[in-house]
Amino acid sequence: MDSRRIALWIIIGGTALLLVFIVFTGPIRRDAHFSNSAASSPTLSPAPVPGNSPDDHQDTDLVQNPVVPAKQSEFGKKELLPLPPLPSRDQTNIETHRKLAASLNREVREATRRMYEGAFQQLRLPRDQQEKVIDILTQPEKKLEQQAFDAARSGNIPAPPSPEEMQAQQAQQDQQLRSVLGDAGFAAFNQYRATIPDRSVIEDMNQQGANLSDSQSQQLLQVLVRERQQIQAGTAQNLNSMSPDQAIRALDQQQVLLQQAVNDRVQNILTPEQATTLKGILSQQLRIGLKAR
């Protein structure tokens, strides 16, 4: 399981928990609305009771002025008007979900654009084709988000897709990409896609202050891609034919072998400080994989 898939499940899981909170706190917000409405309604004080003094008779004449009761009556009629109907609990949840889903979709699309920016440049894709490719690549995330919301509405926990479902989704996605990019374009895109985990390592290094030069980045990428491909080719059997536990253990072992191989081959490429940063990132990826088990 790669770090991108893990991050996706964290996002979707957080969204599901938030939506569960919204579903179960809807009645509370509705009751609070009525309470606030009642508390904010002004109350009318009764007119003073007349006494026996002349001043009291003067006050009584003022109270008995027909103009005042008319205003009070008109004000009272306004207070008796019914409150506008509140949106139903389900309508509120759906609208909140729509806003959350739109925000999440924008974030996923932007992250996908950054991830494949190099491929778009290599293939010289116009903007409209880039958007079509991003639409295809983000379809699984949108589907997972909708499933999380549906599960939250019913009070359930969304179930992750099975290996068979993921393979079917991947095959469908590849077919859609091929229809947009053509055979040659899809082959080049697929080759770039296979290097994304290694490109992410370089990006993480620079974010942590490694400041790799263009030459260092290219050389390190070649080392990472070559070693990863060799290790994956040496896997005894296809990961898709393994049980989930076996596949995770195989991926963990591949990550350990990659870290050992890369550490031996970057001595002439990176400074000692940069090599330490690389080692930390590869170790972090391994820990993430182990925690996902």
pLDDT band for position 255 (cuts 50, 70, 90)? confident
The pLDDT, as a whole number, for residue 155 is 78
Same domain, 172 and 213: no
Which of the residue ranges 122-131, 152-161, 190-199, 281-290 would you say has the lowest mean pLDDT?
A: 281-290
**23 has a pLDDT exceeding 60:** no
Mean local confidence (pLDDT), 50-58: 49
In a domain, 266, yes or no: yes
The per-residue pLDDT for 214 is 94
If asked whether residues 186 and 287 sit together in one domain, one would say no
- One domain, residues 93 and 183: yes
Is 32's pLDDT higher than 70? Answer: no
Does residue 127 sit in the same domain as residue 185? Answer: yes
Average pLDDT, integer, range 233-245: 65
Q: Are 8 and 134 members of one domain?
A: yes
Q: Give residue 178's pLDDT.
A: 96
The maximal CA–CA distance of the chain, rounded, in angstroms, is 111
44 belongs to a structural domain: no
pLDDT at 173: 94
* Chain centre to alpha carbon of residue 219: 33
The band of 81, judged by pLDDT with boundaries at 50, 70 and 90, is low
Res 192: pLDDT: 95
User: Do 175 and 189 have their domain in common?
Assistant: yes
- Helices 244-265 and 272-291: crossing angle in degrees, nearest 10, is 180
Given a cut of 80, whether residue 114 has pLDDT beyond it is yes
**Residue 115 confidence (pLDDT) above 80:** yes
Where a domain ends, among 194, 225, 255? 194
Q: Between vectors from CA 120 to CA 115 and to CA 122, what angle results, nearest 5°?
A: 115
pLDDT exceeds 60 at position 211: yes
Looking at the predicted structure, is the pLDDT value of residue 266 above 60? yes
* pLDDT for 210 beyond 60: yes
Reported in sequence order, the residue ranges of 29-184 that DSSP labels E, i.e. its strands, are: none
Q: Are residues 86 and 131 located together in one domain of the fold?
A: yes
Q: Do 27 and 92 reside in the same domain of the chain?
A: yes
CB of 278 closer than 8 Å to CB of 258: no
Residue 47 lies in a domain: no
DSSP letter (8 states) at residue 45 = P
pTM for the predicted model, two decimal places: 0.60
Within-domain flag for 46: no
Q: What length does the chain have?
A: 293
Evaluate whether residue 51 is within a structural domain: no
The residue segments making up the domain with residue 86 are 1-39+56-194
Number of domains in the chain: 2
Q: Say how far apart CA 209 and CA 262 lie, in whole Å.
A: 20
Q: What are the distances in angstroms from CA 93 to CA 20, 24, 29, 108?
A: 10, 10, 12, 22
- Residue at token pair 């109907």: 85
Q: Are residues 5 and 136 in the same domain?
A: yes
205 and 164 both lie in a single domain: no
Condensed to tens digits (0 to 9), the pLDDT of residues 136-177 reads 999 988 888 787 778 777 777 777 777 778 888 889 999 999
Q: What are the backbone angles phi and psi of residue 83, rounded to the nearest 5°?
A: -70, 150
Average pLDDT, the chain: 74
**Last-in-domain residue among 194, 212, 237:** 194
Share of the chain above pLDDT 70, in %: 63
Residue where one domain finishes, among candidates 138, 167, 194: 194
- The pLDDT of 266-273, averaged and rounded, is 92
Residue 183 pLDDT: 96
- Residues 293, 169 share a domain: no
User: Do 110 and 17 form a contact (C-beta atoms < 8 A)?
Assistant: no
> Does residue 238 belong to any structural domain of this protein?
yes
Q: Tokens 């989930």 correspond to what residue? A: 244
Q: Does residue 184 lie in a domain region? A: yes
Given a cut of 60, is residue 267 above it in pLDDT?
A: yes
Say whether 59 sits in a helix, a strand or coil.
helix
**pLDDT computed for residue 249 by the predictor:** 77
Domain membership of residue 119 (yes or no) is yes
| Average pLDDT of the segment spanning 87-96 | 72
Cα 246 from Cα 238, distance rounded (Å) = 11
Please report the pLDDT score of residue 68 as a whole number.
47
Shared domain for 201 and 266, answered yes or no, is: yes
Mean pLDDT of 263-279: 91
